Chains A and B, each alone.
Chain A
C-alpha cells in the first residue's frame, strides 16, 4: 500500500505546475500527464489529421471534377480513398472525441485527473507514430484496398499494406488504452454524491463508447493480424486455396465495423446532449431514457454487422434477420432525436455558434439516419450497394453528424479552456459556410448513387458530370471553410476577449458551476460534493 502512495505522490510532483520546475517547451508536451494537456494534444493532432485527410478528399474530388483520368492515376486514386477513410476515422474523428473525453470527463465528474495519467500520455504519443507509419506506407507504394481492407485484395497488395496493418495495430492499442483509462476514471473517480444517474450525458456516452472500444478494437486487431499472417506466414484464413474464405474477413471486420460506427456517433450524441440544454436553458428532456437509449444502441450494434454484406450471397433468412435487426436501431435513435427536440420545446432558445452546430447536427444526422434506414432494406440495398448513395449516407452521419458535433463542442468549451471568447460573427460564418458547402458536396451524391455511379472509381459515365462538378465545388468550399475555423481558434487563443465565468446561461455541469475561467492547470484536488 505504501508503494501506491509513493507512486502517486511522485506523479503528483511531476506535474506540479509551472511554478515549481515543470518542464517547458516541447518537453512539457512530450512528458505531460495532465489530462488537460493531453486533451489539447489529442485535439490538435486530430485537426492536423483532419486537414491531411481533407487534402486527400480534395484530390479525389479534383479527379472526379470531369469524367476520364486527368490528375491522378487510378492506383493513386484508390489509395486516396483508402487513406482518406482510415485517416478521417482513426486519425481525426476518434482522437477528437478522445480529446474531449480527456478534457471534460475529469472536470464533469469532479476528479483531479484521469485514472492512469502515465498511460494516458502513452496512448496519445502512440498516435503520431501510427500517423508516420500511415504516411510512410503511402510513400512505399501504398495500398489502394479501401478503408475496410477486404481480403483477398489485401493479401495480394504490395509492401505498403504491411505498414498499414501495423498502423492499425498501433491505433488500436492507443484506443484500447484510452478506453481503459476512461472507464476506470468514470467508475472509480467520481466526486462524492455523483451517482451514475447524475452524471452529465457526455460522460455517460463516453462510458458506453469506451466499453464498445474495448470489445471491438481487439477484433479488428485480430482481423488485420490474420491478413498479415496470410501474407507472410503461410496461414490461409482468407485464402480459398488453403481452405479459407475471403467472406470470413468481412464477417470479422464488420463485427468490429458496425460498433465502430457508434463509437464515432455516441460521443457526438453526448456533446449535443450538453449543448442543446445549455442553449435551451432547460435540463435535458428524458435523461434516463437517453441513458437507456444509448445503451440499447450500443448493444444492438453488435448484432447487425452483416447488413454491410447483403450482396455476399447470404441466405434469405439471414438477410431478413439483419434487415429487421437494423431497422430496430431506428427506435432508440428516434428516442434520442425526440428528446433533443423536446428539450428545445418551449425553451428560451438562443443561437450562438455551438447551438447552430448542434442544430445542424440534429437536422443532418437525422437525414443521414433516414438514408441508413433506406439502405437497411435488402432489396433496396442490393442495387445501391457500393454506389454514391452509400457515400452520401455515411458522410451525412460522419461529417454532419460527428464532425459538426465536435465543432459544436469546440465552440462550447473553448471559452472555458482558454479563458477567451471566440469571434461570434466569424463562428456563425464558419457554421453557415460549412452547412451550405456540406450539402452542396453530399446531397447531390444521393442522386449520383440512385443513378448508379459506383464508388471508388476514378472515371465515370459522362451523364454524371454535372452532379460531380457540383459536388467538387462544394468539397473545395467546405475544405476552405475549415481554414476559417483554424483562424477563429487561433484568434481566440491569441487575442480573444476575456470570457466571463459562465458565458452560456443554461450550462450547469461542474466545470461551469465550480471552476474559474479559464480552468486552472490543476482542478478538483479536493473533490466537490454533488447534491
Chain B
C-alpha cells in the first residue's frame, strides 16, 4: 500500500476509534441510567408497592364474619441497635374488617439512627390481598438516643383471599439507612 493511501486509512481509523470509544463510554453511562429507569418503571407499573398505601375500594370493605383469619406479627432488626416488637403476637381478624395494631421501636444506642422497615408476607399468596392503609414503613423512622416510639399499622384483608389461607404472617425488618439517604416521602 502506498504512503498516501496508508495515511488516509490511518486518519479514517482514528475517526472510527473516537466514535467507538464514545459508544463504549455512553454504554457505561447507560448501565447507570438503568437505575432510575427501573425505579420509574416499577413506580409506573406498580410492581413495587411495598412503601405505598394500598387503594381500598368500597365493595371490598364488606366484612365477612363467616371467616376468621389468624394474623401473626413478626419483627426483626438487621444490624441495628434497636429493639423492635409488636404489641401483640397475633390477633384473629375477619376479612374486610379495618384493624389497627401497634409496633414499638426503641433505640438502645447513644446516637441518632435512621431506619427503614421492609414488610414481607407469608404465605406469598396472601400478599396481594393484604392491604396496608397506614404503615410506619411508608416513611423512614429517625430515633434519637434511647428514644421509644409506638407506631400503628392499619390494614384490611381483602375478602377475596383464597379459602386455603387461614393464617397470614406479617413480618417487618428494620434496616439502618446509611450512605445515600434516600427519602421515600
Contact = CB atoms under 8 A, between A and B. Distances in A.
A222 B28 contact: yes
- Residue in B17, B26, B31, B177 whose Cβ sees the most chain A Cβ within 10 Å: B31
Interface stretch (A17-25, A241-249, A277-285, A399-407): A241-249
Given A217-B24, A218-B24, A248-B38, A5 B175 contact: no
Contacts of A187: 16
The prevalent SS among residues of A at the interface is helix
B158 interface: no
A214 B23 contact: yes
Q: How large is the interface on A (under 10, 10 to 19, 20 to 34, 35 or more residues)?
A: 35 or more
Contact of B179 (A115, A234, A525): A234
Interface stretch (A58-66, A176-184, A267-275): A176-184
B12 interface: yes
A101 to B, nearest CB: 15
Contacts of B32: 222, 226
Contact of A218 (B10, B25, B35, B175): B25
Contacts of B163: none
Contacts of A243: 116, 177, 180, 182, 184
Given A188-B12, A189-B9, A180 B20 contact: yes
B150 to A, nearest CB: 22
A219 B24 contact: no
Given A218-B28, A315-B47, A236 B1 contact: no
B1 A526 contact: yes
Contacts of A7: 10
Contact of B6 (A5, A236, A242): A5
B83 to A, nearest CB: 18
Interface string A96-120: 0000000000000000100110000
B17 A116 contact: yes
Contact of B45 (A217, A221, A315): A315
Contacts of B57: none
Given A234-B178, A248-B38, A188 B16 contact: yes
A251 B177 contact: no
A214 B1 contact: no
B24 A180 contact: yes
A13 to B, nearest CB: 13
Contacts of A52: none
B3 interface: yes
B16 A235 contact: no
B109 to A, nearest CB: 16
Nearest to A229: B179
Given A214-B20, A214-B27, A248-B38, 5 more contacts: A1-B11, A4-B10, A176-B24, A223-B31, A243-B182
24 contacts: A4-B7, A5-B10, A115-B13, A179-B20, A180-B16, A183-B20, A189-B13, A214-B24, A218-B27, A219-B30, A219-B34, A220-B31, A221-B31, A223-B31, A226-B32, A233-B179, A235-B180, A236-B179, A237-B35, A241-B118, A242-B182, A243-B184, A248-B38, A252-B35
Interface of A: 1, 4-5, 7-9, 112, 115-116, 176, 179-180, 183-184, 187-189, 214-223, 226, 233-237, 239-243, 245, 248, 251-252, 255, 315, 525-527
